[in-house]
Structure formats: structure tokens, C-alpha cells
Structure 1
């Protein structure tokens, strides 16, 4: 069965369906409802046998690259400042098909936001590479 990474984003995707403030500006009860929904998703995936893992991420991050054989790693706040609030968290799922991964992503996208309204957030669905790519030239 293929594994997929379902990436949740802080600020939507190619086009925001609804503009919501960042979660740190939500009412406490809205944050609690959203986190309860995410816990429900994890429990649902565990029950169905599709759960591999899940984590929420903070917006803080460092960009790191190799500094050379005699140098320390180079760190920065990022070559792309707009990505500082990109990935909010992820689910790793082991499912029967890409279609099932898309179905789960759509369900997660409907999680509650401010006022209990669905977020309609973009979820990036990425299949985990199971073998090196082949040249099909």
C-alpha cells in the first residue's frame, strides 16, 4: 500500500478559499475545537489502520545547509521569508490508493476554524517514494 504525507499549511495554498487570521488570533474555544478535530482524525486513522504518524509544527524554523568540509553548517531564517509560516503539521497515512489519500485530505481540509466554520484549507498530498525514479526516456 502506498504511503502519503498530508501537509497542512498555515496560510492556505494556491488560493485561499476563506481568509482567516492565524490560529494565535482565534478565540480559545475555536483553537480547542480545531485541535479536538485533529485528534479525532488521528483516532479515526488509527482505527482504520491507515495511521502512520502525525505532528503539529510551530512556525519557528531554521534553514540549514552544508558549510563545507572545514566549516560549520550555515543557518539562516530562510532564503524565502514567505515560507516561514508554511507547514503547520502533517499526517503520514498508509492507504490503498491516491484516491483515498485525497479523500482524507479533503476531510482534514474541512476542519473547524473561527466560529466553527470549515477552514477549506489546502492540504498538500505527497506520495512517499518507495523506489528510486526510473529514466523513462
Structure 2
């Protein structure tokens, strides 16, 4: 089994894709989207492939060490930026192909009008330690 992180990116979508911003969805559309995500996670819990997941608030702060002991803070990310991480889900699957299959399915979560949003997902394997060689 290998663990993967699926980062949910909120991005402007290409023409022809359901790109209605979430702040313009009806309450029912938001509820349907959240229900899809919960049902997806529940199904993966049953197969043992779900590890964890969480939606993220659009508010945040960028922080980095400045070499002087004071972390400079920068406002952002901002919801109106072209790329915002909206949430994440960690999975533990047998193959890379299975990880791709699940990421594609998650990308089809419903949005405005119940149409799939074709959300960008970044699929990243967890970094593992190299095998220990003993002789």
C-alpha cells in the first residue's frame, strides 16, 4: 500500500467546464457537494483506503523564517487568487493507478446545477524512507 495526498485546488476552470464560483452556488448545491465528499470518504473508509481529509478556510497567512528570529508574515492566500488549496484528502491504496482513479472521481464532485466541477486535484505520494540494507 502507498499513501497519497490529494490536494483540492480551487482554480479558474477552462471554458466549457462548470466554473461557477462556490459563493454563487445555492445552499442545496453546497450541501450536495459536501455530501458527495462525505459519501466518497465513507466509501473509502469501508475499503480501508481512506486515511484523513479536511476542507480548508480561504483565509491564511504565509510565514517564513527571516534569519533574525522574526517570521515575516504576508497576508494570503486570498480566495480570489487563481490558485487556492481548498482542502485535502489522504488515501492509502495498492497502486498508483488506483490513486489516479480516485483523484479523477473526486474531481467530478457536483457544483452549480449538479454538474461536475472538474476540480483540479494535485496527487502527491507521501515521501517514504529508503529501504534499509542489512547484510
Equivalent position of 1:57 in the other structure? 56
Shift of 1:53: 0.3
Work out the CA distance in 1 between the residues paired with 2:77 and 2:102.
32
TM-score, structure 1 as length reference = 0.84
Work out the CA distance in 1 between the residues paired with 2:121 and 2:12.
8
CA contact (8 A) 1:6 1:126 kept: yes
Work out the CA distance in 1 between the residues paired with 2:124 and 2:12.
16
Q: Does residue 112 in structure 1 map to residue 110 in structure 2?
A: yes
TM-score, structure 2 as length reference = 0.85
Equivalent position of 1:131 in the other structure? 129
Work out the CA distance in 2 between the residues paired with 1:95 and 1:9.
21
Equivalent position of 2:5 in the other structure? 5
Structure 1 residue runs without a partner (length 5+): 133-137
RMSD: 2.4
CA contact (8 A) 2:59 2:76 kept: no
Shift of 1:9: 1.1
Work out the CA distance in 2 between the residues paired with 1:95 and 1:16.
33
Q: Which one has a larger percent strand, Structure 1 or Structure 2?
A: 2
Equivalent position of 1:25 in the other structure? 24
Work out the CA distance in 2 between the residues paired with 1:35 and 1:79.
22
CA contact (8 A) 2:58 2:79 kept: no
CA separation of 1:33 and 1:82: change in aligned 2, threshold 3 A: closer
CA contact (8 A) 1:54 1:92 kept: yes
CA contact (8 A) 2:77 2:84 kept: no
Work out the CA distance in 1 between the residues paired with 2:62 and 2:15.
26
Number of matched residues?
Answer: 130
Work out the CA distance in 2 between the residues paired with 1:128 and 1:65.
23
CA separation of 1:103 and 1:117: change in aligned 2, threshold 3 A: same
